[in-house]
Amino acid sequence: MTASIPEKAAPAGDLPTVRLKPKANARAIRHGFPWVYANELVTDRRTRSKPAGTLAVLEDDGRVPLGLVALNPDSKIICRMLDRDPQASIDAAWFEARLRKALHLRERVFDTPYYRLAHAEADGLPGVVIDRFGDACVVQPNAAWAEAFLPALTDALVAVTGVRDVLKNASGRTRSLEGLDDVNAVLHGSAPDAPIPVSMNGAVYMADVTGGQKTGLYFDQRPNHAFAASLARDARVLDVFSHVGGFSLAALAGGAQSALAVDGSAAALTLAEAGAKASGCADRFQTRQGDAFEVLAALAQEGAQFDLVICDPPAFAPSKQALDAGLRAYERVARLAATLVAEDGILGLCSCSHAADLSAFRAACARGIGRSGRRGSLIYTGFAGPDHPQLPQLAESGYLKSVFFQL
């Protein structure tokens, strides 16, 4: 099922109302929690018949309005809070106001137009991710309401940023949970015909915004790349789950002696090699394609040693149900990687699993290091950069963790 696209925002007085059950936590909603789960809402036949993306006024069990929400009867997250004002109109002007506020923050922090422009709930755009690559923006509308209002969002995005091209990326895992398709599209302008070079931390990365992973580049690791680069002078560096060379290219820019990037994707490694060439460090850069666990084991068999090893795997624990298995996977990564770290070297380990909080992830890493026969001292804990703001009431918005140990 896909969301229907409205001709215009419905007047507030014409909107349906939905109501919390008496035992639902209305206080959490009042204090900023942005979601209502399906078991917290009165879901009669009228509510269940509403199309995904329908706007509605949310009331508590005493019929006191709490705000304007987007309704999706087929999702576990049945309501997403859009505006505390139940009379708000969701139109181009509303989107422009949200985007201008988001842009103001990014322009205060960065002097180049490469960043995450909108980070979903934390920027007041529930389920919407927008990454900016200079004159192009890639939008991930991961919620049904955003899909329904995509024309208004696109118009506002062009008006606020002046970008030439706007692309829709439909690869987000949550889209299927919202009943949405996986079809990418050009929303404005045209699709770039080549990877976009992005300068960060002294390196150049090649972002494939049409066929790469996610939106083409992971901006969230920028501050952690910078920390790794500060440790990299004259170091032998191993970057595992490297994607397009995130940590390894930053380390080379920081003066690393050499860097080896490991990833399962040949396409990602080709982009990493192009980035190394553009960064002027191709002679110090190598790649190795293969399953990361198998490559780590093979490197140990070869007796390889590195002064700085960083592992940045995909989300091993994308949900609470996957938490135990995910923590075991993180522990295994730490154990295998620790054997490759030279004495007094540094091991950096990352997690983008929101279900694994910092304490659980750090403990799994420490167990893995211990089971490798090594002892580690924690020297750095990092998170996503300021273009990935966290909504304090929503733990999922603070998904990224990065821990560095001296072994």
Which residues have a Cβ under 8 Å from the Cβ of 23 and sit 6 or more positions away?
40
For 147, phi and psi rounded to 5 degrees? Answer: -65, -40
Instruction: Give me the active site residues, please.
Output: 352
Nearest one of 292, 250, 249 to 272, comparing CA atoms: 249
Q: Where are the alpha helices (DSSP H) in 162-305?
A: 173-177, 222-230, 246-253, 266-278, 292-301
Contact 182, 170 (CB under 8 A): yes
Angstrom distance (rounded) from CA 144 to CA 147: 5
Nearest one of 115, 140, 138, 148 to 191, comparing CA atoms: 138
DSSP-based three-state secondary structure for 87: coil
For 88, phi and psi rounded to 5 degrees? Answer: -65, 150
DSSP-assigned states of every residue in 133-162: ETTEEEEEE-SHHHHHTHHHHHHHHHHHH-
Euclidean distance between the first and the last CA atom of the chain, given in angstroms as a whole number: 51
Give counts: helices (H), strands (E), the chain.
Answer: 12, 19
Which residues have a Cβ under 8 Å from the Cβ of 394 and sit 6 or more positions away?
33, 34, 35, 121, 122
For 355, phi and psi rounded to 5 degrees? Answer: -70, -25
